[in-house]
Structure 1
């Protein structure tokens, strides 16, 4: 027998139970907007060009552009199209760019946990250190937002063997770390169940633009094609979740935003058959479904 994580069982797609999202939609779409802050002169960070010795000013400043400029332009686009967002928040942003977080709070966006900073991975920490990281990030969000976050995305999608357990024990209801499905599934933890909501590793600007070097037009086409194919697939009656992962230092660049606007305008024109929501909205609806509807329950 191969080693296994033991968090969920195999559930084949054709035998899933059918259910609908609000408005009888079969496709739920949410935007996962990553607001991240990075240490200067040390730690992890995506690179526009191969980094040199620290301090790596080129790549640090390129990422910082996202918080200073790109994120504000993305806010304008979300307002223009009247689209909600799940903000995946490094808690360091409260000290660095509080006005940016406040702007998302003012429009009613969901704030989800995304660690302290994307300069670190939680997967290399001891269990006590990882518990402390989760607690610190959660406490900061609860303090500023007036309530604790319900969802978590690890910086760099990095997990230890106990991360789902620690999240459930810290009061989290869903995780975005596991990209193994097109619909929510329940995971097992030592602290009870945890909902895994699909978060994209394909329709995600970092793997696309940074990893594969896709162009702005290609990434936008990917968003549209993924959306249209999912709409076609949902004719089988089975509900799906489509996440779109965005980072302001990437898609907040003007030439990329031009194509992102085209893609999101295309999607938003289909509100008649699609439910635009947040990851937390997906959780809320799942909790209303009859017992046994969601795999792993």
Structure 2
């Protein structure tokens, strides 16, 4: 069963026996934080920058709990090997867990938990993308880089004159709504559990009325290609799309077609379908296999960033702290579903 944790590290938590936690897919900045924080809880971290796999599952021998990154999908064969190595809990250092087959993990005795981190990181980045999109910032900066300082052919718009549709109002979506209120725009929202200070409407109505749509829904079988060809056709002529959620929330082929035809006015994408193996890698000297990503980057009205909205010092510290906390709470039988 997938148990979602929103724990925060507290200084008064004590544990009677030292714990060993294996940390997979750990970059240098995360590793430094794990080494700083783990001793406070009597934890000995075994750290590797390699993503978890069947081949390195034995690194977790002696660890009932492990921490994994979100950048690489975890194969079922790796989950089986981890279960055989004695792992019973896996904390993914992300809000989403679409890179893990949670049901299969449960079948081999591994509970999967996510972490919370500062929603402000993604919310701030989302607002930046919105402002860049409505001011056609990509074209302006590219022109200035080649010393063309004429006014841009496309006049910018002001957020206060627009209707912005927010799909998904969890912690991040709600933080985006809070920021948008300061700009004075009309805010529409769609979520099965309304809780943000916005005008909630059906998804169809949101798409038909919004000048800009921003996606903050989790990726599930129900939300896969949430914006498909049919729903994109429902959107206002010239509308903008912002996605800092998950790439597969959008049917990329349909998006490219709508952008090329002028049906949509632009997009700002921090996540892209098929980004795995491309984002977080240095691709300057090797070909990028994703034709849709290459086409999106060619378009003058599309902003692409490499899944970096979450990446702030505050959020990264939250992620490491809460991954440690969740592992220790599970081992002590105090986790909450």
Fold-level similarity (TM above 0.5): no
TM-score relative to the length of structure 2: 0.30
- Structure with higher RCO (Cα < 8 A, 6+ apart): 1
TM-score relative to the length of structure 1: 0.33
